[in-house]
Amino acid sequence: MMANPSKADIEAAKARRDEIVAGINACDERLTQLKPAIIANSDAPLPEGAWTVRDALCHVAARANGVAMAVTVASGSLGADADVGPTFDIDVVNRQQIADRTTNDVDALLAETFAGHATAIGQLASIDDQMLARRMKLPYFEHEVTVIDLIALAGAGHEQSHINDIARAVDANG
């Protein structure tokens, strides 16, 4: 269910668009800075959990375009067979993202990430302000969220936490 956005929601969404683009660019800059340490320590374990630096980079590459998924969810075009309900298992999805990239080296993973980010920025610029500000109630959120909120959650904000983990892991091993 979606409600039409207010004028205030539209203005807030336009401002958040710029913040999200800046966040995506910041992810690219940080990954570029970390690249030598990532290459040298790709098998290093992250500070928490079972992932390695390379596993986290695979996940970041797979999720580099958070705009596409958010727009799909917002438009209701996931389809009836999409498993995003109570039985959805993000760990299965994450394992598949890593498995799909087992033969990719760090350069390929970074290239995929940067290409996904460029696509996300282009898509974000092309989305109508009213669509970005549209509120919706989704089963996995307690309160309504706007499309721009969903984009922020699915994109750079999510990635930055993984990049921070990568940075801590390679610093401890570098």
Residues belonging to the chain: 174
Domains and their CATH numbers in the chain: 2-77+84-173 (1.20.120.450)
Q: Lowest mean pLDDT of 74-78, 109-113, 147-151, name the range.
A: 74-78
In this prediction the pTM is 0.85
Instruction: Determine the pLDDT at residue 80.
Output: 42
The rounded mean pLDDT for the chain is 86
Closest CA to 112 of 92, 98, 126: 98
pLDDT value at 79 more than 60 = no
Averaged pLDDT for residues 116-127: 94
pLDDT tens digits, one per residue of 29-43: 999 999 999 999 999
Please give the Cα distance from 28 to 44 (Å, whole number): 21
What percentage of the chain reaches a pLDDT higher than 70? 89
Q: Which residues contact 8 (CB under 8 A, 6 or more apart)?
A: none
Instruction: Determine the pLDDT at residue 173.
Output: 60
Sheet with 135-136: strands ordered across:
2-3, 135-136, 145-146
Closest CA to 154 of 13, 46, 60: 60
H, E, C per residue of the chain: CEECCCHHHHHHHHHHHHHHHHHHHHHHHHHHHHHHHHHHCCCCECCCCCCEHHHHHHHHHHCCCHHHHHHHHHHCCCCCCCCCCCCCCHHHHHHHHHHCCCCCCHHHHHHHHHHHHHHHHHHHHHCCHHHHHCEECCCCCCCCEEHHHHHHHHCHHHHHHHHHHHHHHHHHHC
